[in-house]
Amino acid sequence: MNKVTFFIIPFLIVFFNACSAKKRTVHHTYHKPNSKSYVHPTMRPYVVRGIRYHPTVVSVGDEFRGRASWYGPKFHGKLTSSGEKYNMYGMTAAHKTLPMNTIVKVTNLQNGLSAVVRVNDRGPFVDNRIIDLSKAAAQKIGLISSGTAKVKLEVVGFKNKQGKKTISKTTSKVALDKYALQIGSFSKIEGAIKTQEMYDGVDGYKTIIKDMQNSNGRIFKVWLNGFKSEQEARDYKAQGHFENAFIVREE
């Protein structure tokens, strides 16, 4: 082996090892689901911490309620679930199930302030929170100091493939599965009526009485309904307003 060959071979080995190492680089991001089957930004279900989330089809005018939080400097510049870099100065947000690029108006129910944001990330993966706002959006609705607040979300449009925001009240409605929270079960109608009257209209939801039959006879169940998705019902249940409540699917 001559001297030229002696020096070329080690160089090639180092070069190819470096290229191989570069391909194995993994970018870690707070909101990126850890499911192998998840490919952003599709509507495929994904799993985080053992919980399966199902992205929900929505339309303009749909409203949701829950608690909002925000995320800032620690994640600034890191990749979001949509593949974009998180910009804490932009008007964006993370949501567990809304389609990517959904435009949402977020209203702080404690002070009436609102902001319009675009969903470009997944999260927050905390049971009692419905949306995670960028720092800029959080500042606009007075959320920075409190950290969290009760909010109303309203779908106002979508961002198309060309990058243009479409905000319109004429978007056709898409039928959604409806979910309710069973908050009581009684053998006598009087108990059901009392519970219905007590909680009807709470946080914008309505109560209904289901007259059913089981092996023990007639039973009256009180459902709190009006949730647009299973995730909204799950988030509301996690707030702990009703002991032993559970989610049911409306027929």
Taking only the tens place, the pLDDT of each residue in 114-156 is: 999 999 999 998 878 999 999 999 999 999 999 999 999 999 9
Mean pLDDT of the chain: 77
Residue 153 is predicted with a pLDDT of 95
Residue spans of the domains in the chain: they are 46-167, 179-249
CA angle 146, 74, 161 (to 5 degrees): 95
Q: Write out pLDDT tens, residues 169-194.
A: 434 333 345 788 999 989 888 888 89
Which residue type occupies 210? K
**Structural contact between residues 146 and 129, judged by C-beta atoms closer than 8 angstroms:** no
What is the rounded distance in angstroms from the CA atom of residue 204 to the CA atom of residue 28? 38
Residue 45 is predicted with a pLDDT of 76
Other CB atoms closer than 10 Å to residue 144's CB: what's the count? 13
What is the rounded distance in angstroms from the CA atom of residue 28 to the CA atom of residue 145? 28
> Residues 107, 113, 119, 120: is their CA dihedral positive or negative?
negative
Q: What does each C-alpha distance from 131 to 32, 57, 86, 168, 173 come to in angstroms?
A: 15, 17, 15, 22, 23
Residue 114 is predicted with a pLDDT of 95
Fold for domain 46-167? Barwin-like endoglucanases (2.40.40)
**Structural contact between residues 121 and 80, judged by C-beta atoms closer than 8 angstroms:** yes
Q: Do domains 46-167 and 179-249 have the same CATH topology?
A: no
Q: What are the residue ranges in the chain where pLDDT is below 70?
A: 1-42, 160-177, 214-215, 250-251
- Phi and psi for 32 in degrees, rounded to 5? -80, 120
Residue 19 is predicted with a pLDDT of 41
Which CATH number does the domain 179-249 belong to among 3.20.20.20, 3.40.190.10, 3.30.70.1070, 3.30.2130.10? 3.30.70.1070
